Amino acid sequence: MCVTIIVGNNPTQEVRTMNEKQKKELREWIWAIAISLVVIYILRSFVFSTYVVNGLSMEPNFHDGDRMIVNKLIYHIREPKRGEVVILHANTKSDYVKRVIALPGDTIRVEGDNVYVNGEKIVEPYLEEAVRVAHEAGMPYNRIDQEEITVPDGHVFVMGDNRSHSRDSRSMGPIPISEIVGRSDVVFFPFNSIRIVQHK
């Protein structure tokens, strides 16, 4: 035997109340999803983005196919610093990943594996092992030199870590800071290479 218990005097009113509650929950879900999409759009447009390394110019520290999280906000707050790995507009179709070597007003020259900024040889710990291996094999690590120049205001001098196989400021000249998309902060793929990017 089935017993139906009706609470209240108006079952139709109870059904109507349930429908209104479901509609309210649906509206709340729609608002939550809409707000989430807006936040994601803002973050991707103005704060963070992703970038896939294309080519060998940043080996041995970054490899073809590496995926990075790029901080797009940082250079709206401050200027780039030496040693930072940046993404910059190469042309209308592609971007480059390079390392900042010299800043506005700096003088820079490159003689083999030695890089001089403002007359002083800089230390590049991110290349020490690669340079050592090349020297043990009887070869220079870098075969593209740069006569001394002064970096103009509003520009930076960038180079790839793979010094002998990189198209950078040695051929393109100093890069306008306005062409920098952001700083590479995290490598998140492949999974065995996940790390926070070291900028010095």
- Residue in 137, 126, 138, 145 with CA at minimum distance from that of residue 59: 126
Phi, psi at 44, each rounded to 5°? -70, -30
Q: Indicate the DSSP class of residue 118.
A: T
20 contacts 38 by C-beta, under 8 angstroms: no
* Known active-site residue 57: yes
**CA–CA gap between residue 73 and residue 185 (Å, rounded):** 12
**CA–CA gap between residue 145 and residue 164 (Å, rounded):** 9
* Known active-site residue 36: no
**CA–CA gap between residue 21 and residue 24 (Å, rounded):** 5
Write out the two tokens for 53: 């390394």
Catalytic residue among 72, 98, 169, 184: 98
- In sign, the C-alpha dihedral spanning 133, 56, 75, 196 is negative
142 contacts 110 by C-beta, under 8 angstroms: yes
Q: For residue 187, count other CB atoms closer than 10 A to its CB.
A: 20
Write out the two tokens for 80: 């780039």
Catalytic residue among 23, 24, 36, 57: 57
Q: Which residues are catalytic?
A: 57, 98
